Amino acid sequence: MTDECINVSEAAERAHLERVRTSIKLDLDKLGHSVDSQYSDVIELKHYLQENKTDMDHAEKASVRQSIEQMAMIGDHSAKRKRQLHKLYQNAYFGRIDFRPGAGQAVHPVYIGIHAFHDHDRNLHLVHDWRAPIASMFYDFELGEAFFDAPEGRVDGALILKRQYRIKQGTLEFMLETSLNIHDEILQQELSRASDDKMKNIVATIQRDQNAIIRNAHTHALVIQGAAGSGKTSIALHRIAFLLYKFKDNISAKDILIISPNNVFAHYISKVLPELGEEMIQATTMEALGDYLLDYKVPFQSFYEQVATLLEARDDGYSDRILFKAMPDFLDRLEDYARHVRNSNLRAADLEAGGHSLPAAWIAERFHRCGAMPYARQINQVTEAIVSRMQLEYGLEITGKARAGVRTQLKKMFTCMDLLKLYRTFYDWLDRPDMFQTGPDKRYEYADVFPLIYLKMLLEGAQPHDRIKHLVIDEMQDYTSVQYQVIARLFRCRKTILGDQNQAVNPFSASSAETIRERMPYAECIHMNKSYRSTLQITQLAQQINRNERLIPIARHGDEPDLIFCADTEEEFDIIRQRVQAFLDADHNSLGVICKTQKQARTLFDRLRDLDDRIHLLHAGSTTFNGGVSVATAHLTKGLEFDQVIVPFCNAANYRSLMDRHMLYVACTRAMHKLSLTHTGNCSPFLRAVGAGKPARHPPARPAAHKLCPA
């Protein structure tokens, strides 16, 4: 501590907080009156337009409408700022650094909050936005030498003081001095809190390595391989918030798209950006993107249905087809086939234009010159060549209907333009007709959707979605090389791609950070190895199921996971009901009852639903995550977290394959504080090390039925 610092004591800090809150309240009151006035002005102008539109000319109407739009925009901006000030009034800041920019220069405290606040009356910057350049030092440096990158260049100096605060409803609960990045006590308290029904912002506890990812503004494609519970999705969203702040003149929320695993997950993360003062970005799923790219004309199985089929049907042929289409050389063969089709599908013929005939040989030679292009571009190129020849040789202008007639003749020279037929023929060309099969309802298998789309792009071309300026892809491990190739052609913008190979729900076609770089060689790969979500005891169990050699668990301790042996299925149902009832009677926010298959989840839900109306079943059509008790499959809970998790039916028959191992790992790593697993008969081989040499923990009821997990 140095005598240069102000507000040194806790009493002085409390007084400073009240002064800041008073200034915020004054601005909040002024803004409230301004918003009300702006709203009234817009309503008045709308009434004026409605009442006088018959007497107004076109120019006057346009002028009034423009005024309404401008006033509405100003009003929206004021309303957004009002919401920000209200949050600041409740929680003005969470950190402070005192920075001396150079020897002999004055030291001023820099208070850091979720939004910035400037007292215009006194011309004082009372709170700095966590994304501001100077605020980066709070996350990156200990006391001593430090620097930040200002717009005009690097500023070197020294951190003299560093503090963290817990402010709740305007009251300073405590403050901590720290010489490290983020004080462990603060982090542990945040991690120990109960979960919410939506993902929370983490601005007060961002770590140094996380901050580097968030503020990475130069990488065109950032691929984040993150361990379960590492906070990779949260970090990706905070990165988006930072980019919206840094490049606010060039990018807005409407320019960003996230491809999320399902609608439940999209709802779960929907609170983060609005909490950070930004609008929520657009979200879609890979299935929705596929449907759009196929013009909604090709019915196909969803990824959810693919996973369900793999888990329930045990169809080796089905698995073989998925694996075949995920192999690295499959993409190359598809591109070879597209070239073959372009070369062999053309039957050049004499062409009539402007009363003159062009020979088939000349037409064929022109097509050959642009043979590497998609059909549409080939036809455009050859059409232009014909138009130019008619002009040079005969002085004829080929326009309008005559030009359309030339294009029609050129299109007819292609023997097959049926995409679906060409795709089916691809497997005959490979001499692997067994690798293509539609379902009994004639729907395409999910593994065929993006190969079909990519063939369409190769043959017909694709219009890049340049309106999107940043693309976020979550659960990257569940997408294949073909899907990434489609994405690369469709979205040429910057990208943030994240996932965890250990959480692949379909190991037959999983992608790693390294395989993604093969399709996007310009991408930068980063590993997030620290796991924050689960207690050390839960993390250790998960490591025994599916080991991640790079994982670094945070040492937050809790109860050992319960591994409960049940004499029969009825007892297993009884045990689960007791655990669910105990949760409902306690003060917790969320419990996940996570099964392997949807059929198991439905059966269990039917046995539990009478307990309480806070028990929900998640399924493929679910769109929200509501907290309480969620009965679901591991697939649908990816990315979610729960205070407590129960994993039923952990017997050797239910969890035995490689895919089962991944599902069990996903289920267990959803738990923050408490994990229970139940089984009848022999437990899964993935859990045998857990029960060996120590008794399982049991609920109080029916203790005689519980014993060690059979080895």
Token pair belonging to 341: 């089709």
Q: What is the pLDDT of residue 702?
A: 41
Question: In angstroms, rounded to a whole number, what is the distance separating the alpha carbons of residues 503 and 506?
Answer: 9
Give bridge partners of residue 616 from the DSSP assignment.
630
Question: In angstroms, rounded to a whole number, what is the distance separating the alpha carbons of residues 362 and 349?
Answer: 9
Q: Is the pLDDT of residue 539 over 80?
A: yes
Please, which pLDDT band fits residue 210 given cuts at 50, 70 and 90?
A: very high
Minimal CA–CA distance to 603: which of 636, 570, 581, 579?
Answer: 570
Question: In angstroms, rounded to a whole number, what is the distance separating the alpha carbons of residues 557 and 537?
Answer: 7
Name the burial class of residue 208, with classes exposed (0-12), middle (13-18) and buried (19+) by CB atoms within 10 angstroms of its CB: middle
Question: In angstroms, rounded to a whole number, what is the distance separating the alpha carbons of residues 398 and 257?
Answer: 43
N- to C-terminal Cα separation, the chain: 59
Spatial contact of 129 and 244, defined as CB atoms under 8 Å apart: no
- Mean pLDDT to the nearest integer, 532-560: 93
3-state secondary structure 433-485: HHHCCCCCCCCECHHHHHHHHHHHHHHHCCCCCCCCCEEEECCHHHCCHHHHH
Q: Using DSSP bridges, classify how beta strands 351-353 and 356-358 pair: parallel, antiparallel or unpaired.
A: antiparallel
Question: In angstroms, rounded to a whole number, what is the distance separating the alpha carbons of residues 253 and 276?
Answer: 12
Token pair belonging to 37: 């006035």
Contacts of 180 (CB under 8 A, 6+ apart): 142
Q: Is the pLDDT of residue 362 over 80?
A: yes
Name the burial class of residue 307, with classes exposed (0-12), middle (13-18) and buried (19+) by CB atoms within 10 angstroms of its CB: buried
Please, which pLDDT band fits residue 188 given cuts at 50, 70 and 90?
A: low
Return the minimum-mean-pLDDT range out of 27-36, 171-180, 526-535, 697-706: 697-706
Spatial contact of 208 and 142, defined as CB atoms under 8 Å apart: no
Give bridge partners of residue 553 from the DSSP assignment.
531
Average pLDDT along the chain: 88
What is the full DSSP assignment across 644-692? EEEE---BTTTS-SHHHHHHHHHHHTTEEEEEEEEEESSBPTTTHHHHT
Question: In angstroms, rounded to a whole number, what is the distance separating the alpha carbons of residues 300 and 285?
Answer: 14
Give every strand in the sheet of 470-473, ordered side by side: 282-284, 256-259, 470-473, 494-499, 221-226, 524-528
Contacts of 253 (CB under 8 A, 6+ apart): 244, 273, 278, 279, 280, 281, 282
Spatial contact of 473 and 265, defined as CB atoms under 8 Å apart: no
Does the model's pTM come out above 0.75?
A: yes
What is the crossing angle of helices 316-326 and 303-312, to 10°?
A: 130
Contacts of 248 (CB under 8 A, 6+ apart): none
Return the minimum-mean-pLDDT range out of 94-98, 119-123, 251-255, 504-508: 504-508
pLDDT tens-place string over residues 320-342? 999 999 987 999 999 999 989 98
Question: In angstroms, rounded to a whole number, what is the distance separating the alpha carbons of residues 173 and 544?
Answer: 40
For 145, other C-beta atoms within 10 Å of its C-beta total 10
- Mean pLDDT to the nearest integer, 348-352: 91
Q: Is the pLDDT of residue 698 over 60?
A: no
* 323: Cα separation from own chain's centroid: 25
Question: In angstroms, rounded to a whole number, what is the distance separating the alpha carbons of residues 389 and 508?
Answer: 54
Q: What is the pLDDT of residue 179?
A: 59
Name the burial class of residue 392, with classes exposed (0-12), middle (13-18) and buried (19+) by CB atoms within 10 angstroms of its CB: exposed
Buried b (16+ CB within 10 A) or exposed e, 654-679: bbeeebbbbbbbbbbbbbbbbbbbbb
Please, which pLDDT band fits residue 462 given cuts at 50, 70 and 90?
A: confident
Please, which pLDDT band fits residue 30 given cuts at 50, 70 and 90?
A: confident
Q: Is the pLDDT of residue 64 over 90?
A: no
Please, which pLDDT band fits residue 193 given cuts at 50, 70 and 90?
A: low
Spatial contact of 157 and 102, defined as CB atoms under 8 Å apart: yes
Task: Give the H or E element holding residue 96.
Answer: strand 95-100
Return the minimum-mean-pLDDT range out of 68-82, 111-125, 362-376: 68-82
Question: In angstroms, rounded to a whole number, what is the distance separating the alpha carbons of residues 542 and 147?
Answer: 40
Token pair belonging to 196: 């919410």
Question: In angstroms, rounded to a whole number, what is the distance separating the alpha carbons of residues 628 and 51?
Answer: 51
- Mean pLDDT to the nearest integer, 535-563: 93
Token pair belonging to 602: 């439905």
pLDDT tens-place string over residues 242-301? 999 999 999 999 999 999 999 999 998 988 998 888 888 999 999 999 999 999 999 999
Spatial contact of 226 and 500, defined as CB atoms under 8 Å apart: yes
Question: In angstroms, rounded to a whole number, what is the distance separating the alpha carbons of residues 48 and 624?
Answer: 42
pLDDT tens-place string over residues 383-431? 999 999 999 998 899 888 899 999 999 988 888 778 999 999 999 999 9
Residues in the chain, total = 711
